């Protein structure tokens, strides 16, 4: 893909060129999808959410501030949408009094060729750990570790303060460390009990 700046494609889109927006989709589809997948932990739902994020960006492109990076703006739309989805999902479960959903590994779709990385043990382990965090903590971790965003950028995207972001990240790391340890123990315990 060529190295045109995002702002040019945004301007062209606003002038009525849909193909320019197509270039933005191609440039950021991976970033947006990775974020929605890390948040929702279901491939189909993640693609739906990513598509919705792009559509919202397109419909509200006139509100985009060119002084900000387009990627950050797009990711903030995707983040907020994912958090909304998780909240709605939780409400649905509570209202229907359904049991907890099965493990993501059981609900994910048939893996495509690009999912070889997903099948990697480390990726699964990370995803399972992430899934145990609350959405607010999870999004902070995802934005920090996958997108290398600064505390200030994350705070702006999540409409909160830098200190709140630092606090969330610290607590999230602690929680993840604790989960990691308990997972390590639980993988050995059944073997111990069986011996």
The span from the CA of 75 to the CA of 67, in Å, is 16
**Of 29, 131, 136, 162, which lies in the binding site for another protein, with binding defined by CB under 8 A?**
29
Backbone torsions φ then ψ of 68, nearest 5 degrees = -95, 155
153 contact partners, CB below 8 Å, separation of at least 6: 72, 143
Q: Does 159 contact another protein by CB under 8 A?
A: no
**Selected binder of another protein within 83, 145, 164, 167 (CB under 8 A):** 145
Site string for another protein, 36-75 (x = CB under 8 A): -xx-------xx--xx--xx--xx-xx-------------
Query: Among positive and negative, which fits the CA dihedral 36, 141, 145, 7?
Result: positive
On the CB side of 82, CA atoms within 13 Å amount to 32
Q: Which residues bind another protein (CB under 8 A)?
A: 14-16, 18, 21-22, 25-26, 29-31, 33-34, 37-38, 46-47, 50-51, 54-55, 58-59, 61-62, 112, 114-115, 117-118, 120, 122-123, 125-127, 129, 141, 145-146, 173-174, 176-178, 180-182, 184-189, 191-193, 195
């Amino acid at each position: 893909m060529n190295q045109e700046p995002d702002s040019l494609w945004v301007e062209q889109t606003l002038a009525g060129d849909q193909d320019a927006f197509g270039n933005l989709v191609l440039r950021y589809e991976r970033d947006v999808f990775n974020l929605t997948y890390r948040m929702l932990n279901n491939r189909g739902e993640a693609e739906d959410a990513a598509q919705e994020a792009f559509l919202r960006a397109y419909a509200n492109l006139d509100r985009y501030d060119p002084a900000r990076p387009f990627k950050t703006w797009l990711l903030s739309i995707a983040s907020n949408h994912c958090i909304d989805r998780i909240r709605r999902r939780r409400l649905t479960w509570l209202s229907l009094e359904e049991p907890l959903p099965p493990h993501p590994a059981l609900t994910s779709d048939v893996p495509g060729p690009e999912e070889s990385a997903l099948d990697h043990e480390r990726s699964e382990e990370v995803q399972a750990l992430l899934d145990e965090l609350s959405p607010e903590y999870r999004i902070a971790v995802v934005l920090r570790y996958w997108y290398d965003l600064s505390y200030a950028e994350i705070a702006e995207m999540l409409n909160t303060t830098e200190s709140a972001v630092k606090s969330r990240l610290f607590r999230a790391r602690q929680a993840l460390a604790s989960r990691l340890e308990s997972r390590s123990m639980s993988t050995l315990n059944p073997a111990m009990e069986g011996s």
